[in-house]
Structure 1
Amino acid sequence: MTLKNHFRCVECNEKAAELHRDYSNGILKITICESCQKPVDKYIEYDPVIILIDATLCKTQAFRHILFNTNLNIHWKLCVFCLLCEAYLRWSRLHGSEQSSDPADIIRYTKEWEFYGMFGLAALELSAFCGGVLCFLWAVVGRLQGGTLDFGLLLKALLLSCYGKVLLIPTVIWEHDYSPLCLGLIKLFVLTSNSQAIRVILNSSRRLSLMAVCLGLLTETCVAQVCQRLQWSVQDVWMYE
């Protein structure tokens, strides 16, 4: 916990030099924030399950604990895992009518280039979303308001806050017919988490974070539409040839 130069109080967002003080005989004393007179980070005593529940509820304190007061560096692994699940769902739409109980067919299908194409498309859309959000924040916060941005921390926050896509796992495992409403709710939850992560990192208003997320979603939608039209154009060319 001493790898960072400073931490943040999960209650008031003020900087703190330490989260706890280690005395002899294994006695720990939680540091009290000088600004709000509350524990700097109450979550250091909590079970990880409680922290996960609070993060799922999009509590600001839990987000500050995860983003500022921990050395959690699984955002890239989580990103790849979620992209694989999303790519599988898209790929399964192409082969939804091809049902087979032969394991050899499953192995053969996973080697098809279409799956990798879907993975690339999902990665491109996620990149467009993150790029749109970061460009908006750079233009508004960095240029107009004269603030400073830590793009690395913002990108990490955006990728970690996409953890809601893990809810796609039951669809991948059980291979049941997924409801568009269910997928829409998962998307809404992910966007809400993205907005909360931006708000925590910048200590900004909810309006600014929502505007950034909306612009990122618009950029992602535009890229998806362009890719879909290009795919149709390529298919038309092959048909005419």
Structure 2
Amino acid sequence: MDTGGFRCIECNEEAAELHRDYRNGILKLTICEFCQKPVDRYIEYDPVIILIDVILCKTQAFRHILFNTSLNIHWKLCVFCLLCEAYFRWSLLQGSEQSSDPADIIRYTKEWDFYGMFGLAALELWAFCSGVLWFLWVAVGALQGEKLDFRLLLRALLLSCYGKVLLIPAVIWEHDYTPLCLGLIKLLVLTSNSQAIRVILNSSRRLSLMAVCVGLLAEACVVQACEKLPLSIQDFLTFE
């Protein structure tokens, strides 16, 4: 197999290969030269088990996904998560507008409210990622003099937003505990973001948490700016 670019999921040291193929379906996992453990045991695991470990924010699972796989679905996952968030906000907007005319349901599907919510969600995500990357550039790049791979960091941030997919079940199975579920989903996303930053930079938990907090601050500033605009983005995109 191609060499280079791999990492040991246990000690984070570089590795030339993950396994050796002796043909006839015989694979032998490569042992790390530093920690004397398999470089990546997840290559033998079922994807469901890997997904569970990712949800549990295990460092080894994040290293497997970010370093040892060629998973390039971060932009597709980003768009899908934005659609989930936009649908959730759009459902709240439509739920607050009571109407007795069944034809309004069809009319609402043709309006631009959903696209406005998608635009707002994309703007907030852009502000969050920009805030995180700016902080890391200052704290790690400028102060410590280390070179950052912003493409890899952005890929890690987008992939770690997978928790937003849970917004759809929260809308479908709406109940009295929905606000609590939304809070837990937000906490899952932020925890995953922090863990992804920590894995990419091999840094302390404090640095990754500070980066996430700066991203949240940038996102909050954008939200406040949009709310104070004389003509909101939602009103601009909605034709009635």
| Mapping 1:153-232, distance limit 5 Å | 153-174=152-173, 179-230=178-229
Which string of whole-angstrom CA distances, capped at 9 and with x for unpartnered residues, describes residues 88-144 of structure 1?
121222221436694x64443122112111110000000000000000000111110
Separation in 2, partners of 1:181, 1:175 = 11
1:44-88, Cα deviation, whole Å (9 max, x unpaired) = 000000000000000000000000000111111111111111111
2: CA distance between counterparts of 1:139 and 1:109? 45
What does residue 126 of structure 2 align with?
A: 127
Q: How many residues align?
A: 233
- C-alpha displacement at 1:187, in angstroms? 0.6
| Aligned partner of residue 133 in structure 1, secondary structure | helix
Q: Quickly say closer, same or farther: Cα 1:234–1:14, change in 2 above 3 A.
A: same
- Within 1, Cα distance between the matches of 2:111 and 2:130? 29
SS in 1 for 2:228: helix
SS of corresponding position for 1:234: coil
Q: Is the 8 A contact 1:41 1:65 kept in 2?
A: yes
Cα distance in 2, alignment partners of residues 99 and 90 from structure 1: 18
Secondary structure of 1:40's partner?
coil
**Secondary structure class of the residue paired with 1:25:** coil
Deviates further, 179-188 or 68-77: 179-188
Distance 1:145 1:68, change over 3 A: same
Aligned mate of 1:234, from 231, 234, 238? 231
3-state SS, counterpart of residue 28 of structure 2? strand
After superposition, where does 1:34-183 map in structure 2 within 5 Å? 34-96=33-95, 97-98=97-98, 102=102, 105-174=104-173, 179-183=178-182
Q: Secondary structure at the match of 2:20?
A: strand
TM-score, length-normalised on structure 2? 0.91
Report 1 or 2 for greater relative contact order, CA contacts < 8 Å, sequence distance ≥ 6: 2
2-structure distance, mates of 1:166, 1:70: 22
Change (3 A) 1:24 1:86: closer
Offset at 1:229?
1.5
Distance 1:5-1:83 versus aligned 2 partners, 3 A rule? same
Give the match's secondary structure for 1:21.
strand
Pair 99,18 (structure 1): closer, same or farther in 2 beyond 3 Å: farther
Q: Which residue pairs with 2:29 in the alignment?
A: 30
Q: Secondary structure at the match of 1:198?
A: helix
SS in 1 for 2:164: helix
Runs (5+) with no aligned partner, structure 2: none
Higher helix share: 1
Q: CA RMSD in A?
A: 2.1
* 8 Å Cα contact 1:164-1:190 kept in structure 2: yes
Runs of at least 5 residues in structure 1 that lack an aligned partner in the other structure: none
2: CA distance between counterparts of 1:176 and 1:109? 24
C-alpha change, 1:7 and 1:99, in structure 2 (3 Å) is: farther
Identity over aligned residues, as a percent? 80
Which ranges of 4 or more aligned residues in structure 1 deviate by more than 6 Å? none
Contact 1:85 1:172 in 2 (8 A): no
SS of equivalent to 2:193: helix
